[in-house]
Amino acid sequence: MGSNYKIGYYYEQKVKKMLEKEGYDVWRTPGSHSAIDVIAINKEGNIRLIQVKKNKREIDISNINYIDLVELYHLAEKYKDSNNIDIELWIFSNNKLKKYNKEDILKLKDIISLQ
């Protein structure tokens, strides 16, 4: 498909379109160098902060860059008591999509503290 930027753009656009179909207003954060690639808000006030990854290997959270996982974990920890804010990781691999939510990311505490 081309450069990593083009690949990332394609999958971020894909996520954006999926969420817009669900009624969310959606923004990409290109070039932000943050843990969040996509921000989605619906009219009920639910906010989804999403990191989008394309992985050639099998879908598994352990295949994700450690620094990205740490940043997502810290965001999930910060907003763990916020019922209307979710921190998510979406991984595309071999025409499959695996979604991890805030609770899944918080379970990474042992993995993150080991390194």
Q: CATH number, domain at 60?
A: 3.40.1350.10
Which residues fall within 8 angstroms of residue 20, CB to CB, at 6 or more apart?
26
- Owning domain of residue 55: 4-114
Q: Name the pLDDT band for 25 (thresholds 50, 70, 90).
A: very high
Distance CA 93, CA 55 (A): 5
User: What are the tokens at 39?
Assistant: 């921000």
CA angle 100, 110, 8 (to 5 degrees): 35
Mean pLDDT confidence for 92-110: 89
Q: What is the pLDDT of residues 30-68, one digit of tens each?
A: 766 788 999 999 999 999 999 998 877 666 676 677 788
Which residues fall within 8 angstroms of residue 50, CB to CB, at 6 or more apart?
15, 36, 37, 38, 39, 40, 88, 89, 90
For β-strands 47-54 and 25-28, DSSP reports them as unpaired
Distance CA 71, CA 88 (A): 12
Number of domains in the chain: 1
pTM above 0.85, yes or no: yes
Q: Check residue 61 and report its DSSP letter.
A: G
